Amino acid sequence: MDWLNNLIGNRRTKNYGLRQDGTPKGEGYFGELQRPGGGISTELSIGVDGQQIPSLVQTLSKRDIQYLLTGGEPTQDIVQKAILHAQDRRKQNKSPFYQMGEARPYGY
C-alpha cells in the first residue's frame, strides 16, 4: 500500500500562493496563463462585497483575458461577468473558483 500512498501524494496540486483572504489559489478555469511580461496567472482574484472571486472566468472574451494578463485593471464589464459567474456557481452550491476535475473551456 505504500506505493499507493506515494502515488496519491505525488498528485497534489502546485502551490500558487494565497488569495487576499488567506485561502489557497488554484489552477483556475484556464490553467496556467502566460503573462506577456513573464510569470503566470491562474485566477486573478478580485474582492467584491467582502468576498474573493476569480476575474478569469469562462464568460470573458479572449480580448478581456489578454487585457487582464497585461496588467489591466478589471473593467466594469469584466467585474460584472465575474460577479454573474460567481452568483451562478453559488446557486449550484459550488465555489466561484475552479475545482480540480471540472471541465475547462475548449482550447485551454
- Backbone phi and psi for residue 18, each to the nearest 5 degrees, phi listed first: -120, 150
Q: Which residue shows C-alpha cell 476535475?
A: 101
How many Å apart are CA 40 and CA 42, to the nearest integer?
Answer: 7
According to the model, what pLDDT value does residue 7 have?
41
- Hunting for cell 462585497 — which residue is that? 49
Determine the Cα–Cα distance for residues 94 and 91; give it in Å rounded to an integer. Answer: 7
Q: Where are the domains of the chain?
A: 2-91
Q: What is the pLDDT of residue 10?
A: 43
Q: Encode pLDDT of 47-102 as tens digits.
A: 999 999 999 999 999 999 999 999 999 999 999 999 999 999 999 999 999 988 88
pTM (whole model) above 0.85:
no
List C-alpha distances in Å: 47 to 12, 56, 67.
27, 13, 18
pLDDT confidence tier of residue 106, bands split at 50, 70 and 90: low
